[in-house]
Chain A
Amino acid sequence: MSEAAIIRIENLNKTFGNGGNAVVALDDINLSVKQGEVFGIIGLSGAGKSTLVRCINLLEKPTTGNVIFDGKDITLLSDRELRDVRQSIGMIFQGFNLLMQRTALENICFPLELAGVSRKEAKQRAREMLNTVGLAEKENAYPAQLSGGQKQRVAIARALATRPKVLLCDEATSALDPTTTQSILSLLKDLNKKLGLTVIIITHEMKVIEQICNRVAIIDNSHIEEIGTVDDVFRHPKTQAAKKLIFPRGEMTKSIAKGGKYLRIVFDGNSSDQPVIANMVLECGEPVNIVFANTKDIDGKAYGHMIIQIPDDPVIYHKITLYLDLEKITYAEENYDV
């Protein structure tokens, strides 16, 4: 991954409608995506993330602000020049958006036809792409004959047929089941590594970000709340918006006894294979209540969170934090009173 920014968004604003009915969708967005990274943009529905990704290839025209792609401010381009630039920015969607009356192969040929590639060359390139996404045997299948995961693979092959530098993914796995989501995400990661493709992922699911992104931007209420490496944001979420996404309230046990303190314990590659909580309980001799736990594999290392509730007693609190300090386990006191 090089440090050069392939996409820079500067002071971008987007307002829908005007006058009294104006709705601000994006408010002063600034971010840059480095060449070759997998960049995630996460937010709850209505946060503005889909509008933001559409501003990157100007499917949505920003009200003010600039989008710099590969050193060029694309907001200044003519329609014709913009169409050329769009061929270097692939995009996939939640609904796949394949041409239903074309076979898988013909779908992949489509952007090549637009780019003026000869029919023969287009077919050859399309076959190559079908191979890359592991669907070589489905070239004559129509979208209606493919499963959701296969459709998204065809969509990926189509988006990458013209060898774009960037792939935009708009909720690309949100319509897929967990297993298929995994396989699509690993395909994207693979393409990112093999082709040096920059991938920008829009999602509302933290697990998608955790699994393949290098950096993440958290968007809430039309604002970017936080940008950082996934590791950092995941371990030390600074803003309320980030915390809300990392621990969706719905997932926490509702029947928490009132009172007590909450500690968020962060696991990293070193500690998740050890019985940390069990050791802590044995060592300190104090009961704790596990309120929320979530561990997973990120980039080959195990990460996770656990929120425990401990009795509201300074002595016990001190004993437990001392133990955690000694074991070099990251933790933070959290306030989760409902």
Chain B
Amino acid sequence: MFSSQMFVLVAVGFLETLYMTIISTAMAYIVGLPLGMILAVTDKDGISPNVPINKILGGIVNVLRSVPFVILLVLVMPLTRAIVGTSIGSSATIVPLVIASAPFVARMVESSAKEVDRGVIEASLSMGASTFEIVRKVMLPEAKPSLIVGAAIATTTILGYSAMSGFVGGGGLGTIAINYGYYRSRTDVMLIMVVVLVLIVQVFQEVGNIISRRCDKRIS
């Protein structure tokens, strides 16, 4: 059953999954990181409270987060087609992945940023730091270990979403699992895909944890 054909299939699926996950995570952070920082800064207890902005952005984030991913996948298909030209394949899946995960990333970033000791921020204000300087020189570096753990969690979540996109021909390991395992009842193929996915999640999570611990100077 493990023909070389099957091996190629798994290898391609693996690479497609990695491609979708990494690109989507990166793009989700391009949007989610600033968004999360704005949410933390404009919070009523933040360094530059701004209730309207916080409420509007928070509302958008909440709405997007409450749409189940499978439904979002179908909902954004017209947009996907407009951007990528097609709604199937791994490149097309990146669009809904980013839309679904950017708000999630924003919330993770916001929560990491809020963990930064209020006293340190107050000390920076007392030294004449501006809001932007505090974000760049205090909140981001001080929250770095927590942000990295968050990134590992976000990556694995996005990986899970990417597998879900297999139902609508999203490409990658998820598509193989569904096409072979579900439609052709090849339970063995499904199991192999599950094992590979589990391994990838383990590796991402563990690598994230190690990097986070390495860069955290609070523990000597």
Contacts and interface: CB of A to CB of B under 8 A. Distances in A.
B219 interface: yes
B123 A101 contact: no
Contacts of A90: 126-127
B128 A84 contact: yes
A57 B125 CA distance: 10
A256 interface: no
- Most chain A CB atoms below 10 A, which of B124, B127, B138: B127
B120 A97 contact: yes
A100 interface: yes
- Most chain A CB atoms below 10 A, which of B120, B133, B137, B144: B120
Kindly state the interface size class of chain A when it binds its partner: 35 or more
Interface in B93-113: none
A159 B125 CA distance: 12
A101 B217 contact: yes
A263 interface: no
A20 B122 CA distance: 29
Given A144-B217, A144-B218, A144-B219, A99 B120 contact: yes
Contacts of A59: 122, 125-126
A57 B144 contact: no
Given A83-B130, A86-B127, A100 B142 contact: yes
A41 B133 CA distance: 32
B127 A110 contact: yes
Contacts of A205: none
Q: Is the interface of B mostly helix, strand, loop or mixed?
A: helix
Interface stretch (A26-34, A111-119, A290-298, A316-324): A111-119
Interface in B136-178: 137-138, 141-142, 144-145
Nearest to A111: B127
B133 to A, nearest CB: 6
B3 interface: no
Contacts of A115: 128
B122 to A, nearest CB: 6
B26 interface: no
A201 B179 CA distance: 72
A89 interface: yes
Kindly state the interface size class of chain B when it binds its partner: 20 to 34
Nearest to B141: A101
Contact of B129 (A83, A155, A159): A83
Contacts of A98: 120, 123
A91 B123 contact: yes
A144 B145 CA distance: 15
A110 B137 contact: yes
A229 B65 CA distance: 62
Contacts of B217: 100-103, 142-144
A101 B217 CA distance: 5
A331 interface: no
Interface string A60-98: 000000000000000000010011111101110101011
A162 interface: yes
A145 interface: yes
B117 interface: yes
A93 B127 contact: no
A224 B90 CA distance: 70
Contacts of A168: 126
A79 B217 CA distance: 33
B218 A100 contact: yes
Contacts of B129: 83, 114
Contacts of B119: 93, 95, 97
Given A97-B122, A97-B123, A142-B217, 20 more contacts: A83-B128, A86-B125, A86-B128, A91-B127, A93-B119, A97-B120, A98-B120, A99-B120, A99-B138, A100-B117, A100-B120, A100-B142, A101-B216, A101-B218, A103-B217, A114-B129, A143-B217, A145-B220, A155-B123, A162-B127
Interface of B: 117, 119-120, 122-130, 133, 137-138, 141-142, 144-145, 215-220
5 contacts: A91-B123, A99-B120, A101-B215, A114-B128, A142-B218
